[in-house]
Amino acid sequence: MENDLEPVVNIFVISDSAGETATKTAQACMAQFPDVEFCLFRRTLINETELLLQALKEAKEVNAIVLHTIANEKRLEMCRTFCQESHLKAFDLLNPIVDEISLRASATPTREPGAMHHLNENYFKRIKAMEFAVKYDDGKNPKGFLKADVILLGVSRTSKTPLSLFLANKNLKVANLPLVPQAHIPQEIYQVDPKKIVGLTNDPSILNHIRQERMKSYGLNPDTAYSDIDKIKEELLFAQNLYEKLGCVVINVAQLSIEETASLILEALNLSDTSYNQ
């Protein structure tokens, strides 16, 4: 008499993190066999040798397929040895790719369990920084100066906005303020630690050229008060006097790219890429 019972395929997900990668892989594979009965076991946050050994013994009892994402080298080797000696079919979903990247990039992986969650946290932190830069661009809301990691001051066309966005991509909250002679300076600027403020300046002739080209791009007369060399010198002097009053760092962007200026800002304010962009 034939056995009418359908075979059950047991799958064990073992991870020293949340096990989401292995679980989703298992589910994707199971979905290919709608008529097969599966039992999916999850053993996650396995951060001790004893817990790993227990999970592996349970998998052995039901002759399970083992899908694992174990970052810790010691526990990884233990898992590989156990599965090999117990004739368990095991699939390492993480380390073959990590090893290949390490080889190609000549870099050492952290082997840190749950590193993906840090990546996600970093992504959302960057998005918030980008939203902050847009919200507090061009002095739209002076309250932003009190919340910012970096404040950029400068006359028109000193790269305040692109710098704000570039630094935001390094997870820094940046607000900026355009400076115009005789214009009101928000009181919040004087309440901020000057170590967070960067004054941007430029050479009058270069600024004159930039502004003329900007007017041309709009189809307008390039020779206006906006691009007048004497007016530009007046603006730059006004900005310089403010910078001296605040006691902030001053950077001339005349011959610098956005990347170079950003690097100088990070260095001047003792902000490293690794401390924020992680």
Residues 15 and 96 in one domain: yes
User: Is residue 3 one of the residues assigned to a domain?
Assistant: no
CA gyration radius for the chain? 29
CATH at 196: 3.40.50
User: Is residue 81 one of the residues assigned to a domain?
Assistant: yes
Find, among 146, 156, 147, 132, the residue nearest to 190 by Cα.
Answer: 146
**pTM of the predicted model, to two decimals?**
0.62
pLDDT for position 183: 87
Q: What is the DSSP letter of 5?
A: P
Print the domain residue range for 213. 120-276
Domains contained in the chain, number? 2
Residues 202 and 259 in one domain: yes
pLDDT for position 276: 53
Residue 218 is which amino acid?
A: Y
Find, among 29, 65, 70, 64, the residue nearest to 49 by Cα.
Answer: 70
Residues 210 and 155 in one domain: yes
Going residue by residue through the chain, which has 278 residues, state the pLDDT in tens, using 9 for 90 and above. 444 556 899 999 999 988 889 999 999 999 999 999 999 999 999 999 999 999 999 999 999 999 999 999 999 999 999 999 999 999 999 999 999 999 999 989 888 887 766 666 778 889 999 999 999 999 999 999 999 999 999 999 999 999 999 999 999 999 999 999 988 999 999 999 999 999 999 999 999 999 999 999 989 999 999 999 999 999 999 999 999 999 999 999 999 999 999 999 999 998 865 445 54
**163 φ/ψ angles, rounded to the nearest 5 degrees:** -65, -40
Residues 101 and 230 in one domain: no
Residues 101 and 129 in one domain: no
Residues 248 and 190 in one domain: yes
User: Is residue 135 one of the residues assigned to a domain?
Assistant: yes
Where among 93, 113, 133 does a domain terminate? 113
CATH at 86: 3.40.50.2300
DSSP string, 211-265: HHHHHHHTTS-S-STTT-HHHHHHHHHHHHHHHHHHT-EEEE-TT--HHHHHHHH
Please list, in sequence order, all residues whose beta carbon lies within 8 angstroms of the beta carbon of residue 84, skipping any fewer than 6 positions away: 90
